[in-house]
Structures are given as structure tokens and as C-alpha cells.
Amino acid sequence: MVRDYRKGAPPRSRKREQPRGTCAFWLLVGALLGGFGVGLAWMRDDRATAQVAQRSQPAEPQHQERPKPKFDFYSLLPEEEVVVPAERKPEPVALPTPDQQTPAQVANATPQAAISVPQTSSGPNSYVIQVASFRANNDAERLKAQLALLGVQTSIQTATAANGQTYYRVRTGAFAKGDAAALQAKLKSKGHKPLMMRAQ
């Protein structure tokens, strides 16, 4: 069979070409419509839930005015008023005679007499009296004041022991040995426990 080359090759059948991107377009449109539908369904569900909640809540009464508080102390205080009597002068109290008093009352009634303190001396044979020793300075100051009322002049000396503890010593001035012994005896009679030591 002889071919006719004048006419050329037989035309090929062309397939109809489809535009690209058509599937993607419809997929996008479907996703948008689906999202819109889901959003619409959620909105309807939220509205239905809100309506059910409103129905379940009791109806609130309209705003009512609260009653003003009532205070009773305006009327109660004048009724509870206590009248304080005017100040009176104290009436004199008769003191018992000495024969009616017990010995303890007599001792407490009479103020303590001052102690006669000898003159201070200095020298190698002088002695000081340590009336007491305290750990607190306040206690030492208190005893010094008590002894001053009795006429005994003292001083407070601070000493630190080997263990690091600080002591406050209440001491008198220096006296001759006989005078220091007499003062020590007088302080013992007043309830103190004095120590006599050689002055340094």
C-alpha cells in the first residue's frame, strides 16, 4: 500500500485538555462551606444553651430598696448613764495605840534608821565591804539606792569572770579594819550578807 505523503501524516486525535486547578478550587469551596456550616451549628447550639439557662434561672425580682439600718445606741446610752459621785476627801483613820500593835506592825511602821558610817581611810591596812554582786546592772543600781537611803555610800564596779560572765559588785569605800568590821555587822543586821576584804 502506498502512502500519500502529500497530505501529510494523519491528524492525531487530540484529547480535550481540562483546565488545571479545578479540583483544588472545588475542594476549597467545599471546605469553606463545611466550616460555615459547623460555625452556624455552634452558634445555634450556644443560643439554645443560653435560652435553656435563662429558663432554668428563677426570675429576679425587681430592685427593691433595702431598709435603712436602725441604731439603738442613741436611745440605750442615755438609759445606761452612770452618775459618778463628786470626789470626797478621805476620812481620817484612827491608828492603833502602840500597846495594840504587834511587833511586826511596829517594825513595818517605823522607817529604817540610817546607819552611822565611819570616815573612810586609805592606806595598806584599809578594808572595803562588798555588799553584794549581781549579774544585772539594774539590780546593782537598786541596791545602791537602798543603801543610799540608809546613809551608806557605795559604788558599782564591773568585773568579768574567767567564763566571760560580767558581774556588777556593790562596794563601799575603804575603812580602817575596826570601822569596816562595825559597818559589816550593821549591814548584816539589815539583812545583807556583806564581805569584808582588803582594799587594793
pLDDT digits (tens, 9 = 90+) for 114-158: 566 666 666 667 888 899 989 899 999 999 988 888 888 888 989
Q: Are 187 and 194 in contact (CB under 8 A)?
A: yes
**CB-facing half-sphere around the CA of 102: CA atoms within 13 A:** 3
What's the confidence (pLDDT) of residue 106?
A: 44
Residue 104, H or E segment: helix 103-109
pTM of full prediction above 0.85 = no
pLDDT at 153: 87
- CA neighbours closer than 13 Å in the CB half-sphere of residue 184: 18
Q: Mapping DSSP to helix (H, G, I), strand (E, B) and coil, where does residue 128 land? A: strand
pLDDT at 60: 60
Per-residue confidence (pLDDT) for residue 35, from 0 to 100: 93
Which pLDDT belongs to residue 16?
Answer: 59
Give residue for cell 511602821. Answer: 109
Task: Write out the H or E segment, with its range, that includes residue 127.
Answer: strand 126-134
pLDDT of residue 109: 47
Q: Which domains does the chain have, with CATH numbers?
A: 118-198 (3.30.70.1070)
**Which residue ranges of the chain lie beneath pLDDT 70?**
1-21, 56-63, 81-124
The pLDDT of residue 33 is 94
Res 110: pLDDT: 44
Count the Cβ atoms, other than its own, within 10 Å of residue 38.
Answer: 10
Q: How many CB atoms lie within 10 A of CB 13?
A: 5
Q: What angle do CA 184, 181, 140 make, to 5 degrees?
A: 30
Model confidence pLDDT, tens digit, residues 92-103: 655 555 555 555
